Amino acid sequence: MKTTQLHEFHAETGHMTEFAGYDMPVWYTSTSDEHLAVRNHCGAFDVSHMGRVRVSGQGSGRLLERLVPTDVVSQPTGKAIYTLFLNERAGILDDLIILKMAEEDFIVVVNAANAEADLEHIQEESRGFDASIRDDTASSAMIALQGPDSRRVLQPLTTADLGQLKRFRCQEAQVMGHASAISRTGYTGEDGYEIIVYGATNEQPEAALEVWRGLVQDAKPCGLAARDSLRTEAGYPLYGSDIGKDTDPFVADLAWVLSASRQDYIGGAAVASARDSPPKRIRRGLVLDEKIPRAGFEILDASSATVGRVTSGTFSPILRKGIAVGLVEGSTSDFGTPVKVRIRDSTAPGNIARFPFYDEKLYGWKRQSNGK
């Protein structure tokens, strides 16, 4: 089983599990404790298992625009771009972040389970482009610091002026004396930062461990379980559960990543065709009055006809209720529509809900007290 550069810390203090071929911490204290720490203060996550591919050279921007349906070349240096890899049928191969570090220098951050396939995909499509492809996953570590106090915790440790780093922006800086890339991004719904520590390997993990230990002097170490409950509560999709090769950007409710001016990317023709008709099903949130939904459970309408299926489900520590992400028929997709979820031999009532599930005035990066 693979390990990250921070495995020494996790093995000593965390409850471990296998994830995407890595030995990772599922929690340190409890899921709810870590979840609430991120919503109310800040938490640190080891996300070094995610793939990091450096794409550089004169043709790097054009290569990435072949691979994704989002404008890349026209974006300013220092922009972080959420986007998708699509196949020719417009099915989603992965969702990812592109960090534009310089005009011809990008870091592509992909999901751990898809890292090898994504790297091969990039390499195969790079033929004919003047671009260098380098897998930096094993030679760097990645840490996510998330929550309303993230800036206060990170600022004393870095040369970056975090007050000037806007959301979905990135820059290179020193963190505790170590060369790093910092992006104001995350997977929790909260404000926060993702830090790539350069030159940290499993054989020489000292830089990563020093940065991690510096952060968790104040931030709470958090595991995979809290990361999943936080992203579900925020309404962020999980590849392989909520989105995949059988969902296009319209079904996934991610059409906002599509460039209106281009079709010259993989899947572009299929996207253009799908624009003309509403999707038969779409990704939506559900809040239940009781019980906790789980992936695979049927979603029923008021007449008990099956209209969809839960793709992710969990308990929301903020709402104190069961919440879910599901794919539902278009006729049932209006927000507020009453539905039921079949849970074993009974059904639990609920409603179609907007993402995120929490009150954005109180939680998340839009909160009114977001100036911390």
Count up the domains in the chain and report the number: 2
Mark whether 44 and 150 lie in a shared domain: yes
Please give the C-alpha separations between residue 238 and each of 72, 140, 347, in angstroms, as whole numbers. Answer: 23, 24, 25
Mark whether 144 and 223 lie in a shared domain: yes
126 within some domain:
no
Residue 176: what pLDDT? Answer: 98
Mark whether 323 and 189 lie in a shared domain: no
Q: Which of 206, 233, 260 is the last residue of a domain?
A: 233
Mark whether 160 and 304 lie in a shared domain: no
Mark whether 13 and 159 lie in a shared domain: yes
Mark whether 209 and 150 lie in a shared domain: yes
Per residue in 11-30, is it b (16+ CB within 10 Å) or e — as a string? eeebebeebbebbbbbbbbe
* Selection from 149, 201, 202, 199 nearest residue 174 by Cα: 199
pTM of the model: 0.97
CATH code (residue 222):
3.30.1360.120
111 within some domain:
no
Mark whether 156 and 39 lie in a shared domain: yes
85 within some domain:
no
Residue 276: what pLDDT? Answer: 87
Mark whether 167 and 314 lie in a shared domain: no
99 within some domain:
no
Q: Cβ distance 161 to 86 under 8 Å?
A: no
Mark whether 31 and 148 lie in a shared domain: yes
CA atoms within 13 A on the CB side of 149: 15
How high is the mean pLDDT in each 10-residue block of the chain (372 residues)? 98 97 98 98 98 98 98 98 98 98 98 98 98 98 98 98 98 98 98 98 98 98 98 98 98 97 96 93 97 98 97 98 97 96 95 98 86 45
Q: Which of 233, 260, 291 is the last residue of a domain?
A: 233
Residue 372: what pLDDT? Answer: 46
Strand pairing report for 306-316 and 105-110: unpaired
Residue 349: what pLDDT? Answer: 97
Residue 371: what pLDDT? Answer: 44
243 within some domain:
no
112 within some domain:
no
Which domain does 289 fall in, by range?
A: 280-372
Residue that the structure tokens 């590849």 belong to: 239
Residue that the structure tokens 């922006």 belong to: 169
Mark whether 38 and 187 lie in a shared domain: yes
CATH code (residue 352):
2.40.30.110
39 within some domain:
yes
Mark whether 200 and 298 lie in a shared domain: no
Mark whether 222 and 287 lie in a shared domain: no
